[in-house]
Structure 1
């Protein structure tokens, strides 16, 4: 077994599948959810947890994006294209979420020695490689210049990015999160973010360097692997790999103390988003 998969080997995996809740499921709920699970898993109230989620017509901005000089103009454009715009409670930059994008979160307890940051990224990369091991395609992890929300763990095939990985660490919990462009046009998604930055930054000098988007460097898995994947197809691959790696997988929603933590976290992200309306 690949060494980086070892983090996925757990006695139990709790599964929270929110991939089919539909258009009314708001991304602010998702970010509150992962913070709650970090707290719960970190406090050993819950075993390691895997969560899947899909949001419709949403652009998620990073905190740095809110400092763009003409942010309002960029947001008006996105809303005209039918997108809801929210700000997440962690780093990174703008990403597109829609019905063809599957998000996965793996939440681990941060052990006494601590989970090395790269180990979390490597575990997610290894998981995705395992999920698509039946295809003759090399999945690389490196920054894809010209993509939106670029990072050293962009996942790509033949130089075209289809996924990005991030991490959030709070209260002794580690959430490793990925967005997977499963179907649809990666290039069209990137064009919307390209136009957002064109309008929100213009030619203004900024302390922070925002990406110059080249839409042609982004694609979906369906485009790259020449297979029409659905969210359900990819979910099945995900659950099958987790099942192979663990003694038990089971579904369980938030309960008890977790529901109280969720309310606090949701309120916090609502307040952050009030500031950018």
Structure 2
């Protein structure tokens, strides 16, 4: 993994917002990440942003271009999942209070890291070291939002990682299935693709199977409070490597809502 965690985590501010849902619209959380990136660029701060969200369905931009994506999004709404399009990489991901969202935010410096994804991998592996289980890296066949930096235990994916770059800062974003059964999430994604892909080439969307993913509650036996157990482990790991709980000034709700509206207009046009 190259550099140790302390080499990039020392001095990092931990912004834990997992105890608050600022709105039903998950674009507000992504907008907050964007504004935190701008803040990191201007202040040279490094930030860990932790958040949860009620039922939402985050589409990648390729997902949104599928032939019947808009009809499939309406189907999601009837099942109480709010669909939104994200501006970072990756494919469709369902969110609920059992999914921990984690962003590592850095200014881009002349000595900036070339292996951005590996910092997130390193953090999650070290945070879960207490379980005694091996956290493996590599794409899991049949998992939703597949990628080279899928994290898995015993062949089951529990985490996907994406990246968002601005001109002078970047964020590495992870979703971690911490609680409850994996089956419902994977089934929801599979059904979305079935509805959205009429006439699409077979290579244009992931082939999702329910048995390819799992949660930390299932894989690591973290118990029914697995999300908070995992969040605590992340914070403890960062603090042990020189990070601190944040008292930083956060973006205003007005700025967050304004940018979220702009992102919606830009990526759903």
Q: How many residues align?
A: 268
- Compute the displacement of 1:131 (Å): 0.7
Shift in Å, 1:4: 4.7
- Are 1:127 and 2:126 counterparts? no
The equivalent of 2:8 in structure 1 is: 8
Note if 1:226 corresponds to 2:221: yes
Alignment partner of 1:154 out of 150, 154, 166: 150
Q: TM-score, normalised by structure 2?
A: 0.91
1:173 aligns with 169
Instruction: Please tell me whether the aligned partners of residues 91 and 144 of structure 2 are also in contact (alpha carbons under 8 angstroms).
Output: yes
User: Structure 1, residues 226-271: CA drift from partner, whole Å, max 9, x if none?
Assistant: 231432222211111111111644332415xx77864653332131
Which structure 2 residue ranges, 5 or more long, are not aligned?
none
Query: d(CA) in 2 for partners of 1:172 and 1:24?
Result: 28
Say if 2:52 and 2:97, in contact at 8 Å, map to a contact too.
Answer: yes
Shift of residue 26, structure 1, vs aligned partner: 2.3
Q: Distance in 2 between matches of 1:43 and 1:22?
A: 27
Distance 1:48 1:23 in 2: 22
Query: Please, what TM-score do these two structures have when normalized by structure 1?
Result: 0.89
Pairing 1:182–2:178 present? yes
Q: Deviations over 1:111-135 (max 9, x none)?
A: 114321xx21111111111111111
Displacement of 1:18: 1.6
Q: Is the 8 A contact 1:27 1:86 kept in 2?
A: yes
8 A Cα contact 2:46 2:105, kept in partner:
yes
Q: SS at 1:3's partner residue?
A: coil
Superposed counterparts of 1:190-209, under 5 Å:
190-202=186-198, 204-206=199-201, 209=204
- Superposition RMSD in Å: 2.2
Task: Give the whole-Å Cα distance in 2 for the aligned partners of 1:165 and 1:89.
Answer: 14
- Residue from 42, 52, 55 that aligns with 1:54: 52
